[in-house]
Structure 1
Amino acid sequence: MSYLPSENRYDQMQYNRCGNSGIKLPLISLGLWHNFGGVDTLENARKMIHRAFDLGITHFDLANNYGPPPGSAEENFGRILNQDLSSYRDELIISSKAGYLMWPGPYGNWGSRKYLIASLDQSLERIGLDYVDIFYSHRPDPDTPLEETMRALDFAVRSGRALYVGISNYSTERTKKAAKILHDLGTPFLIHQPRYSMFDRWVEEDNLLETLDEEGIGSIVFSPLDQGILTNKYISGIPEGSRAARESGFLQKEGVTQEKIEKVKKLNKIAEERGQTMAQLALTWVLRKPQVTTALIGASKVSHIEDAVGIQDNLELSSEEEERIEEILSD
């Protein structure tokens, strides 16, 4: 049976304007970093994408290296898009990125014009699109001039391969320089994608959010749940099949420290008092900042997406709750 999205999908989601642009993004966006690759079950990925769209999630975030293997998340998303969502393409924001190793040799990594444009062309072919809505420089390149990287993003827009551009993992200083270059080129600098969570607050320390506000740039924060640590998942130990239980991956067992778990237990009490899950409290906390346009979540099952969208029932943190959270985090 063909997929038919919920007729009420736009009644259930809050949308925030992204910087000074005309684009609004859903409060929660779905990232395909994990669980959508070639080693994963395609039918589960399909169910998650269907449910996300039913709940009003219109933004799907990809990158050239998402998988594993690299490229396979784009391929799988392309299959689902072609089979189920092609007639809804204009209702979707689809993004991709380039910046990490994709092929051998000196031209398959970092931020050169050659790499970025070649990678974007490959991403478009894998997904089966003529353009992506947002194309990112996935990380700053210490060796390539920033002007070259930004001119490559400018070319992506002018050639019709992307509608908007963004950057990810850039410091405040580099963000300011990138913004000036893109402004002078007349390219729409839509968004910055930094890591931000209760356990990773570099954007506050670096004053990045204030800079984005000044420049009229939106933000989509990734890993707001610290790869699952800021949920109930690890409170009683490392469950089999979880990210931390895998031998390879970004989250290792050593990252699930007892100090963090003790803090999560205390934070979870606040969440329970609010009638929220721990994950919902962590998402509410990052979204308390007005400069945060949307929180980018990962998911391995439909219930994770439903839980995240459920934060809309209780988005306000009282000053007392913020103080209690800050006391736990700074302890």
Structure 2
Amino acid sequence: MQYLADDNRYSEMPYHKCGKWGLKLPAISLGLWHNFGGVDVFENGRAMCRRAFDLGITHFDLANNYGPPPGSAEENFGKIMQLDLAPYRDELIISTKAGYLMWPGPYGEWGSRKNLLSSLNQSLKRMNLDYVDIFYSHRPDPDTPLEETMMALDQAVRQGKALYAGISNYPAEMAAKASKILKELGTPCLIHQPKYSMFERWVEGGLLDVLEKEGIGCIPFSPLAQGLLTNKYLNGIPEGSRAAKSWGFLKPDQVAPAIEKVKKLNEIALQREQTLAQMALVWLLKDSRVTSVLIGASSVPQLDDNVAALKNMKFSLEELQAIEMILSD
């Protein structure tokens, strides 16, 4: 049956300007890092994308290496576009990235112009798209001049293969330099995608200030610390969770030391009539420098639960102080 998007899809979702630029992103965006690869159930990923768009999530975030196997998330998203979302292409923000290992040899990863532009061409083919809305340098390359990496992003935009340029995982000082180079090239940096959550706060040590000064948006990934900031781990590591998967990034030795903090944070969330995951998401959005929060999801109900966080975005001073006390212990 032909998919028809919900007529009310824009009625509830807030949209925020990306830094000083005109592009607006939904407060919550969907990342396809996990659960959309070749090892996953295609129809589940398809259902999540359809539901996300019905909820007003217009932004779908990918990278060349998402899977597993690498590239398969883009291929699957390409199929979902063809089956369901193609008629709505102009309502969507689709992003991808290059920089992590994708193919053997010296040009299969990092930040050379050769790697970035070859990778973008491959990504467009996999997704069957003429262009992506945002193309990121996925990580800084210690062996390639920053100018070369930024020139590749500029070229991607000038070729019409991307509308905007972004960077991910860049520390504050390097992000400032990258922004300066892109500005001089005439393709200013739109957005930065850092790892940021209640348990991972390095961006507060300078990066957010740089982004504010430069007018660059911020879209945190792993806002739930790979699932740690959910009620999933309150009683240990359940079967089928990310910490239980051999290919996941969350390891059992990261879970055990955090359990007590998670339990205390969960108590505050319950007082707010939210799940822990919901509170963790809106805790990031309380900072006006954060444009959107990038969630992963493994099911439609989980997606619904995350988006429902937006019903209570306000924190009292007491709540914020209590959260800080738990996190600084």
Q: TM-score per shorter chain, which class? A: over 0.9
Q: How far off is 1:249 after superposition?
A: 2.1
SS of the aligned residue for 2:325 comes to helix
- What is the one-letter code of the residue matched to 1:260? A
Cα distance between partner residues in 1 of 2:99 and 2:133: 18
Q: How far off is 1:254 after superposition?
A: 1.4
Q: TM-score by structure 1 length?
A: 0.99
Q: How far off is 1:211 after superposition?
A: 0.8
Find out whether 1:136 has 2:136 as its counterpart. Answer: yes
Partner of residue 282, structure 2: 284
SS of the aligned residue for 2:100 comes to coil
Partner of residue 325, structure 2: 327
SS of the aligned residue for 2:130 comes to coil
SS of the aligned residue for 2:134 comes to strand
- What is the one-letter code of the residue matched to 1:248? W
Find out whether 1:249 has 2:248 as its counterpart. Answer: yes
Partner of residue 194, structure 2: 194
Partner of residue 266, structure 2: 268
Cα distance between partner residues in 2 of 1:272 and 1:299: 21
SS of the aligned residue for 2:10 comes to helix
Q: How far off is 1:83 after superposition?
A: 1.0
Partner of residue 37, structure 1: 37
Q: How far off is 1:248 after superposition?
A: 2.4
Q: How far off is 1:311 after superposition?
A: 1.5
SS of the aligned residue for 2:56 comes to coil
- What is the one-letter code of the residue matched to 1:178? A
Cα distance between partner residues in 2 of 1:308 and 1:13: 12
Partner of residue 304, structure 2: 306
Q: How far off is 1:134 after superposition?
A: 0.1
SS of the aligned residue for 1:179 comes to helix
Cα distance between partner residues in 2 of 1:212 and 1:248: 32
Summarize the alignment of residues 84-163 of structure 1 with structure 2, pairs less than 5 Å apart: 84-163=84-163
SS of the aligned residue for 2:236 comes to coil
SS of the aligned residue for 1:29 comes to strand
Q: How far off is 1:237 after superposition?
A: 1.2
Partner of residue 183, structure 2: 183
Structure 1 outlier segments of 4+, above 6 Å: none
SS of the aligned residue for 1:221 comes to coil
SS of the aligned residue for 1:167 comes to strand
SS of the aligned residue for 1:256 comes to helix
Partner of residue 221, structure 1: 220
Partner of residue 294, structure 2: 296
SS of the aligned residue for 2:121 comes to helix
SS of the aligned residue for 1:233 comes to helix
After superposition, give the CA deviation of every residue in 1:137-172 in whole Å (9 maximum; x if it has no partner): 000000000000000000000011100010000000
- What is the one-letter code of the residue matched to 1:86? A
Q: How far off is 1:289 after superposition?
A: 0.9
Q: How far off is 1:188 after superposition?
A: 3.2
Contact preservation (8 Å) 2:179, 2:188:
no
Find out whether 1:70 has 2:74 as its counterpart. Answer: no
SS of the aligned residue for 1:95 comes to strand
Q: How far off is 1:61 after superposition?
A: 0.1
Q: How far off is 1:189 after superposition?
A: 1.2
Larger deviation, residues 246-255 vs 132-141: 246-255
- What is the one-letter code of the residue matched to 1:239? P
Cα distance between partner residues in 2 of 1:130 and 1:248: 32
After superposition, give the CA deviation of every residue in 1:220-265 in whole Å (9 maximum; x if it has no partner): 00001000000000001111111101122211111112x3110010
- What is the one-letter code of the residue matched to 2:235? S
Cα distance between partner residues in 2 of 1:179 and 1:56: 30
Contact preservation (8 Å) 2:38, 2:72:
yes
Cα distance between partner residues in 2 of 1:22 and 1:276: 32
Q: How far off is 1:313 after superposition?
A: 1.1
Where structure 2 has 5 or more consecutive residues not aligned to the other structure, the ranges are none
Cα distance between partner residues in 1 of 2:98 and 2:247: 22
Q: How far off is 1:16 after superposition?
A: 0.3
Partner of residue 174, structure 2: 174
Find out whether 1:235 has 2:222 as its counterpart. Answer: no
Contact preservation (8 Å) 2:30, 2:57:
yes
After superposition, give the CA deviation of every residue in 1:109-162 in whole Å (9 maximum; x if it has no partner): 100000000000000000000100000000000000000000000000001110
Q: TM-score by structure 2 length?
A: 0.99
Q: Percent identity?
A: 68
